[in-house]
Structures are given as structure tokens and as C-alpha cells.
Amino acid sequence: MKKTLVALAALAATGAYAQATISGLMDVGVVNTSRVAPGASTTDVTRGNNNRLIFSASEDMQGGLKATATAQLRFDPQTGIAGEGGTRPVFQGETRIGLSGGFGTLQLGRGLTALQAPNGGNSDPWGVTTVAGSVYAAGFASDYAAGGEGRIDRALFYTSPSISGLTVSFSWSPRKLAAPGAAAVADANGVQGTNAVTEITSANTHSSVNFLYANGPLVAGLGSETNRVGDSILQIYGNYDLGLAKVFVSNATIKGGSAADRAGVTFAATAAAVPSGTMTATTTGGVAADGKINNSTIGAIIPMGATSFRVGYSSWNGNGSAGQQTDQKTGLGVRYDLSKRTYIYADVATQTRKNNTGTRPDRDNTTVTYSDFGVAHSF
């Protein structure tokens, strides 16, 4: 439940007001991984979901117009530092400001893209959480910057009003410089130093568009996105509530940009399901240059009072390069709601890694089994 920190009446003559709130989620659990790097522990205390603090502000400016701003901080609860060991932005979730009204919502800043914002929760019974979450966008990342798996920075975001259950979303961001080449040299002894930023621009702008229909028991989405190095994803996804169970499905086609588009660009974001690493003209951490991944998922949530069971299956053809075999993931889970805001969960998942020869000695061409048990509280 969101707790209002400030709710101040302003401009009494017009009745306008502003308010700020803080909300968030904490999720900590024990995770076991059957195969790990030599010397590493198979058991860890970690998260099942992304732990976050969300600072939100809004101002009613009358006439149906509202100003909004949101900053979402991510952190590792087991260490107290920024998410993913401090390798991602402190405000990883989003930093956006905008206006909403009868025209829809227009925002500027950094956040989930038009396609990535709705597809995970509507494609995956786990909502992209826990070790069992389905792989619904194999090999694709929205941005090459750290933390850019499903987010884009320096961007414009628009979502239309709902018309008979249909909303249209769009996000766009311009080309930008790649990572610096070498450290800048400071001035010394009256001699001007040099700024050694490598003048490499990304080959493309970011663009993402999504159509989402939600009416009654049916949710259906269709979206397309292209990142700054030319990788693209086309996805159709959705779910249907049958009463006894909610069924989820997704099908995505991911295509890799050209080697020329990736030349000199370091890909710091982790792409789903395939090994991460440096994105250059010859090596890839996501979909292969000019490669193609076919990715499909199916799953369900079966509610039984305070208890709900989850099942999911995903398949994809490695990183899409020639000769890649089909990798697979299967997950099973159970969740028990202790209250409206607190629940416990347990999951088990198996994931094949048929295409990792030479890249992960601990997991090459084998099946990895994961299990977890945790507790989560939203506030």
C-alpha cells in the first residue's frame, strides 16, 4: 500500500493540489544452483524480484491535466548496495517526468520501453521474477548501456488513452556516443590535455511501438522494437483468464543487427537467456550479428484460494547463429499470500545450455537446475 508522505493543498481558489508518495518492494530468498563456477557456492541468499524504492509525485493542474514524476531506486537487500552489485544505475527502475490528460501520457527520461513495459507481466506467469520466470525475449536487449535489458535512456515515451480496451504506446531515443575509448589526459605544465572519447555513434535511433488490448478476461499485445545497434524484436503475446486458470502465451522473432552496426560498441546490458559479453563486429552477448532467434513461451497460473501454482515452458534457438540448437527452460512454482501485501514462494526450474561450448565451463552443453524459496512484501 502506498503511504502518502506529503499531501498539500495549493492554490485554494482553483482547488489544484500536489502530492508525493513512496512505495516499493522487498524480496529476499535462498537460491540453489546445481552447476556453478569452480570454487563458487551452489547456495546464495539473494532476490527473487527486483527490490526497489519508488518516489512518485503528481500535481493536479485542473482541466484534466496532471504533471507526474517518478524515480525508482534499485538495491540488493543482501548487501545494501545498488542493484546487481553496483553495476547498474542506482535509479535503475526509471527516472521520468511528464504530463497526462485526455491526450494520454507523455513522458521524458529513462524507463521501460513501449514494448518491454507490458510484455513481461502479460507473457510470463511469474512476471519476470524468481528462478522459474519464462524466457520471453531471448537474446534481445533494449539498450547496450548497463541496465538496458528492457529500458532506454534519453527517451520520449507516449501512451494513448484506452479506447474500448485498446492502448497504443511509443518510445523513441536518438543516436548517442558509444563508451569512451581511453581516460582523458589532464592539463599539466601548461600543456593542454586531451579528451580521449572515441567518436563512435550508434548506428540507429531506438524506437519501440506496442498495441495492447485488455478487456474482460483477455489481454493481447503486439509490439516491435529496434535498439541502437540494429537488433530488433517482433512479439505477439497475451493471456486469457479461464477462471480455473490463467493461460499465458508469447511468440517472438529476434533479429541481430549487422556487424558494422556493432563495430566499436561495448554491449554492457545482459541479454535474456544467451551468454552475455562484449558486443563487437565479431563477438556478441545477445543475438548474433545478422542472426535470427525464434522464441516461444507458454504457461499458466492456477489459483486455489490464497495459494497459486505456476508452470511455464520456453524455447529458443541459441543466439540465432548458424548451427545453433534449441535451448529450453521449464519452471514450476507455488505462491502463498499471507496478506494483501506479503507472500512466500518456492520454485524449481531446469534450463538447457546446448550452445555454450567454451564460454561457460560450469554450464557448457548441460542442464542447470535452479530452486528458490523466499518472502516478498510490497508497501
CATH of the domain at 166: 2.40.160.10
Asked whether residue 156 is domain-assigned, the answer is yes
- For the beta carbon of residue 328, count every other beta carbon within 10 angstroms: 16
Work out the burial of residue 129: count CB atoms within 10 Å of its CB; fewer than 13 is exposed, 13-18 middle, 19 or more buried.
Answer: buried
**C-alpha distances in Å from residue 345, one per residue of 43, 245, 303, 371:** 17, 18, 14, 11
Reading the chain (379 residues) residue by residue, the pLDDT tens digits are: 444 443 433 333 445 567 899 999 999 999 999 987 778 899 999 989 999 999 999 999 999 999 999 999 998 887 888 777 667 788 889 999 999 999 999 999 999 999 999 988 999 999 999 999 999 999 999 998 878 889 999 999 999 999 999 999 999 999 876 444 444 455 555 554 444 444 456 768 999 999 999 999 999 999 999 999 899 999 999 999 999 999 999 999 999 999 888 877 767 777 777 653 334 444 445 898 899 999 999 999 999 999 999 999 999 998 888 888 899 999 999 999 999 999 999 999 999 888 766 656 666 678 889 999 999 999 9
174 within 8 A of 205, measured Cβ to Cβ? yes
Domain residues for 272? 3-179+193-378
In a domain, 185, yes or no: no
> Do the domain assignments include residue 188?
no
Nearest to 124 by CA among 306, 273, 287: 273
Q: Is residue 98 part of a domain?
A: yes
Does 20 fall in a domain? Answer: yes
**Does the residue 107 lie in any domain?**
yes
CA-nearest of 279, 290, 317 to 141 is 279
Q: Is residue 334 part of a domain?
A: yes
Q: How far is CA 121 from the centre of its chain?
A: 10
Residue 186 lies in a domain: no
Q: How far apart are CA 188 and CA 173, in angstroms?
A: 38
What residue ranges in the chain does DSSP mark as E strands? 3-9, 17-33, 43-46, 52-60, 66-74, 94-101, 104-112, 151-159, 166-173, 206-215, 218-226, 232-241, 246-255, 292-304, 307-316, 327-337, 342-353, 366-378
- Specify the number of domains making up the chain: 1
pTM, to two decimals: 0.85
User: Whole-angstrom Cα distance, residue 260 to residue 244?
Assistant: 51
Its sign, for the CA torsion 71, 237, 309, 326, is negative
What is the grid cell recorded at 291? Answer: 542472426
